[in-house]
Amino acid sequence: MGLVSAAAYETVETDVLVMGAGGAGLRGAIAAAEAGARVLIVCKSLLGKAHTVMAEGGVAAAMHNVAYQDSWEVHFADTMKGGKLINNWHMAELHAKESPERVLELERWGAVFDRTWQGRIHQRPFGAHTYPRLAHIGDRTGLELIRTLQDRVVHTTGVEVHMEVTVFALLKSEGRVGGALAYRRADGSLVLYRFGALLLATGGAGKMYRVTSNSWESTGDGTALAYEAGAQLRDMEMVQFHPTGMVWPVGVRGLLVTEGVRGEGGLLRNKDGQRFMERYDPDRMELSSRDVVARAINSEVEAGRGTPHGGAYLDITHRSPEFIKRKLPSMYEQFLKLAKVDITKQPMEVAPTIHYQMGGVRVDAETAASSVAGLYAAGEVASGLHGGNRLGGNSLSDLLVFGKRAGDAAAASAKKNPKAAAAGIDPAEIEHAIATLMAPLDRPEGENPYRLMAEIQDVMTEHAPIVRDEAGLAAGLEKLDGLRARAEVCGTGGGQSLAFNPGWHTAHDLRSLLVNAEALLRSALVRKESRGAHARSDFPKTDDQLASVNFVVEKTAGGMQVRPEPRPPMPEYLADAVQRSYALYTPEEME
């Protein structure tokens, strides 16, 4: 191993290491620092560029500023129904109860929300939320959230940020994670972070698919690292296709069209001009949950009723141009600039795009602790809150509620284990991890990692689409095996430099993607039913037996194992809330 014989690395110590500087990571860092811990945030991009900025619609919180009938119970019931009842009900309860507080706190930190005429925070209607519930700032709520938290972090003592640093291995000592190896993107130099507790807030793995609203960062590093460190993953079959992504031009395929368009009254039509949602969910129409709308568009296209570029029309032209430009400024701009479509005059063409991973690291509801000591996870990388399908607006509130809880718990854990950061780590493990990272640099003739990534995306697009079946999933797994073998010996695509070498970085990202892809396919195979985002053509019905089961993924000596795990029943007051909601508010669609 020519390049790495020295394997020199710098060691940095802290109490809590936060991986990821999106909403959950930043909120967690603030919580941990306020609890008295020294906090260090590492992120793959620059601070403030995290994927949270893409969240457009708003943050769901039952503040009843617009609809006085709203309450945490209704929000809870909506979340559970949206998740097709396989959510962790305790998480859903905490989330519904605490999100208003988190939103108001954001305002006290300088966030500026749209207002109602009485001067309260305005809330807009959104898919599958019974009442108008999304606190928002035009269509750039995520940016506001990130910026507010970022400025808070920058001015919180005890928080440091290391930008453009990628963690490539977690290290354990005495059964507890205590170290993380990372490389600096700019120069390829290595860092060993030693910490008392680790908070994973790395987001999802949307890069598994070709048509995605996710950025290069979303390679599922957190789930993969946690899995390798022995943590359990859960609900990995559940990935959300956002119903409305741009389809044309080719260059911007997959780019998100906010659900806010439908929230503000946008109508979905097929090429015959028919409002086809009438046939799929006559009660909620365009504002049905995302899985339903995505499948509806998919079905229309497959039935030959799609638009010229294979999508559906999303039409908001019945609203006034001023209204559209005020409420959906960045959508207006995005279509005008990138597709030369004036959405005040013409309909948009949209089709489903991969958007969100409901599954992820299995965490404790109260503390966001994973099954490995010292390891915490919050945000998209964690699982539980969203179950089988996430409601729009619930992710931003998820970040805030569980980001804070995870930060608090991680700080407490680090305090309780003051020696964790200094505990011994097997040097051979470090050597091995570094050697694996560096190996592609020594294989100038090795395969191009970009091509491998594209092939992984092809496999997932073909074998784990919106509607899946056994044969396809199994064939996909087989192809993944081949890809994994090739990824293990791939090169960097030519460049051998350590300095900002994206080819080399990509060679490593493949590993994370492969873990996520495999977990998805394996979990999808064993969930023999259609539920939420997971639809099977060979099992088109929902199986009530499986409502009480989550599938848990674990690393074993024999490779990746998936096993069903029964869920504890809901306590009576929560079950009541859901029942009442079925009776009083919105009837759930039956399949």
- Tell which positions 391-410 bind another protein, by CB under 8 A: none
- Tell which positions 131-190 bind another protein, by CB under 8 A: 137-138, 140, 142-144, 147, 151-152, 154-155, 161, 163, 186
Q: Does 465 bind another protein (CB under 8 A)?
A: no
Q: Does 342 bind another protein (CB under 8 A)?
A: no
How far is 92 from 389, CA to CA, in rounded Å?
A: 13
Q: How does strand 16-19 pair with strand 348-357?
A: unpaired
- Show the tokens assigned to 587: 């009837």
Q: Does 107 bind another protein (CB under 8 A)?
A: yes
Closest residue by Cα to residue 400 from 149, 184, 160: 149
- Show the tokens assigned to 267: 């109508």
Q: Does 2 bind another protein (CB under 8 A)?
A: no
Interface residue with another protein, options 17, 19, 32, 121 (CB under 8 A): 121
Mention every residue, 6+ apart, whose C-beta is less than 8 A from residue 96: 62, 72, 73, 75, 76, 79
Binding residue count for another protein, defined by CB under 8 A: 77
- Show the tokens assigned to 187: 């120069």
How far is 204 from 224, CA to CA, in rounded Å?
A: 10
Interface residue with another protein, options 71, 189, 330, 346 (CB under 8 A): 330
Instruction: Report which secondary-structure segment, H or E, holds 577.
Output: helix 572-584
Q: Is 363:201 a contact under the CB 8 Å cutoff?
A: no
Q: Does 311 bind another protein (CB under 8 A)?
A: no
Interface residue with another protein, options 275, 337, 416, 528 (CB under 8 A): 337
Instruction: Single out the catalytic residue among 51, 242, 253, 468.
Output: 242
Shortest CB 520 distance to another protein, Å: 19
Q: Which residues pair with 212 in a beta bridge?
A: 354
Backbone angles phi, psi at 372, to 5 degrees: -110, 135
Q: Does 340 bind another protein (CB under 8 A)?
A: yes
The smaller minimum CB distance to another protein, of residues 265 and 502, is found at 502
Q: Does 3 bind another protein (CB under 8 A)?
A: no
The smaller minimum CB distance to another protein, of residues 50 and 514, is found at 50
How far is 83 from 548, CA to CA, in rounded Å?
A: 13
Shortest CB 292 distance to another protein, Å: 25
Task: Candidates 291-299, 398-406, 495-503, 573-581: pick the segment binding another protein (CB under 8 A).
Answer: 495-503
Residue 205: strand, helix, or coil = coil
**Contact code string over 242-271 relative to another protein, x by CB under 8 A:** ------xxxxx--xx---------------
How far is 438 from 497, CA to CA, in rounded Å?
A: 11
**Backbone φ/ψ region at 551: left (φ over 0), alpha (ψ -120 to 50), beta:** beta
Q: Does 118 bind another protein (CB under 8 A)?
A: yes
Task: Candidates 117-125, 431-439, 514-522, 544-552: pick the segment binding another protein (CB under 8 A).
Answer: 117-125
Shortest CB 311 distance to another protein, Å: 14
Q: Does 497 bind another protein (CB under 8 A)?
A: yes
How far is 555 from 73, CA to CA, in rounded Å?
A: 37
How far from 430 is each of 203, 230, 426, 427, CA to CA, in Å?
25, 17, 7, 5
User: Is residue 319 annotated as a catalytic residue, yes or no?
Assistant: no
The smaller minimum CB distance to another protein, of residues 62 and 255, is found at 255
Q: Does 204 bind another protein (CB under 8 A)?
A: no
Shortest CB 534 distance to another protein, Å: 26
Q: Does 495 bind another protein (CB under 8 A)?
A: yes
The smaller minimum CB distance to another protein, of residues 61 and 412, is found at 61
Q: Is 70:133 a contact under the CB 8 Å cutoff?
A: yes
How far is 133 from 131, CA to CA, in rounded Å?
A: 6
Q: Does 58 bind another protein (CB under 8 A)?
A: no
Question: Cis omega before residue 249 (within 30°)?
Answer: yes
How far is 28 from 25, CA to CA, in rounded Å?
A: 5
Task: Candidates 214-222, 288-296, 380-388, 463-471: pick the segment binding another protein (CB under 8 A).
Answer: 214-222
How far is 286 from 312, CA to CA, in rounded Å?
A: 12
Q: Does 489 bind another protein (CB under 8 A)?
A: no
The smaller minimum CB distance to another protein, of residues 104 and 474, is found at 104
The C-alpha angle 167, 172, 176, rounded to 5 degrees, equals 115
Interface residue with another protein, options 13, 450, 486, 589 (CB under 8 A): 450
- Tell which positions 420-449 bind another protein, by CB under 8 A: 448-449
Task: Candidates 209-217, 348-356, 534-542, 566-574: pick the segment binding another protein (CB under 8 A).
Answer: 209-217
Shortest CB 45 distance to another protein, Å: 6
The smaller minimum CB distance to another protein, of residues 14 and 501, is found at 501
Q: Does 313 bind another protein (CB under 8 A)?
A: no
Q: Does 49 bind another protein (CB under 8 A)?
A: yes
Q: Which long-range contacts (CB under 8 A, 24 or more apart) does 295-298 make?
A: 295/466, 295/467, 295/535, 296/243, 296/268, 297/243, 297/268, 297/350, 297/351, 297/352, 298/241, 298/352, 298/466, 298/467
How many angstroms from the chain centroid is the CA of residue 145? 16
Q: How does strand 239-246 pair with strand 348-357?
A: antiparallel
User: Is residue 242 annotated as a catalytic residue, yes or no?
Assistant: yes
Mention every residue, 6+ apart, whose C-beta is less than 8 A from residue 432: none
Instruction: Single out the catalytic residue among 129, 140, 262, 386.
Output: 262
The smaller minimum CB distance to another protein, of residues 489 and 499, is found at 499
Q: Does 323 bind another protein (CB under 8 A)?
A: no
Taking only Cα atoms into account, the Rg of the chain, rounded to an integer number of angstroms, comes to 23
Instruction: Report which secondary-structure segment, H or E, holds 119.
Output: none
Task: Candidates 210-218, 264-272, 389-397, 529-537: pick the segment binding another protein (CB under 8 A).
Answer: 210-218
Instruction: Report which secondary-structure segment, H or E, holds 243.
Output: strand 239-246
The smaller minimum CB distance to another protein, of residues 213 and 550, is found at 213
Q: Which residues are catalytic?
A: 242, 262
